[in-house]
Amino acid sequence: MGFDQSEEKYGCQTRRATLCAHSLDFCGMIKGILIVNNHGKPRIVKFYEHVPDAEQQAVIRDIYTQVSKRPDTLCNFLEGTVRYWGDGVKLIYRHYATLYFVFAVDRQESDLGILDLIQVFVETLDKIFENVCELDLIFHSDKVHYALDEIVMGGMVLETNINEVLTAVNEMNRLDSVSSRRSLQSTMKK
């Protein structure tokens, strides 16, 4: 069975997608990603498994409560129950300065793999914003969501190479600036 170049480049994702299609029990999934500050205010929230709008705040509060109560001396994995998703949800998180980066995943997802993914996401944000802080997440949430969408889409990990993510984000920024200039020029002509 031969691979073309695109399959070679994305061979791991291709094989994983094939395995997931054949056995949904084997495939791990990210249910949601939250970035919450020390006071429980959500800064970035992305659900990959549906949560009704009426339940979202309760889910966020539930996750924040479970994670924030834990002392820093304990591990960054927490398995248990999350409102609406039920039993078997793992919360894998890192606490950086004033922010908790929390990934809610199912049992099949690798704990250490998700910890590495959080590190990749934070390092990517550090390079985009030159030492990311909470204000960057508030005022540039579009860029944060774009970077996150390059890494995770539909609850599946797409890219873990920081340079590839940065290339895509830089291209988006370039297209955005070209679009802004064109719209400014067309406004000035009127």
User: In this structure, which topology does domain 10-189 adopt according to CATH?
Assistant: Beta-Lactamase (3.30.450)
**pLDDT at site 169:** 94
Give the pLDDT score at 190.
63
The pLDDT value given to residue 178:
84
Give the pLDDT confidence score for residue 86 in this predicted structure. 80
Between CA 135 and CA 97 the distance in angstroms is 13
Give the per-residue pLDDT at 18.
44
71's tokens: 């002392």
pTM: 0.81
* Regions of the chain with pLDDT less than 50: 1-19, 21-25
- Bridge pairing between strands 42-47 and 86-96: unpaired
**Using CA atoms in the order 160, 166, 167, 169, what is the torsion angle rounded to 10 degrees?**
110
**pLDDT score, position 66:** 93
Q: Please say whether the beta carbons of 23 and 43 come within 8 A.
A: no
Give the separation between CA 112 and CA 90, rounded to whole angstroms.
12
Query: What is the rounded distance in angstroms from the CA atom of residue 134 to the CA atom of residue 144?
Result: 11
Please state the domain extents for the chain: 10-189
Distance CA 78, CA 27 (A): 20
Q: How many residues does the chain have?
A: 190
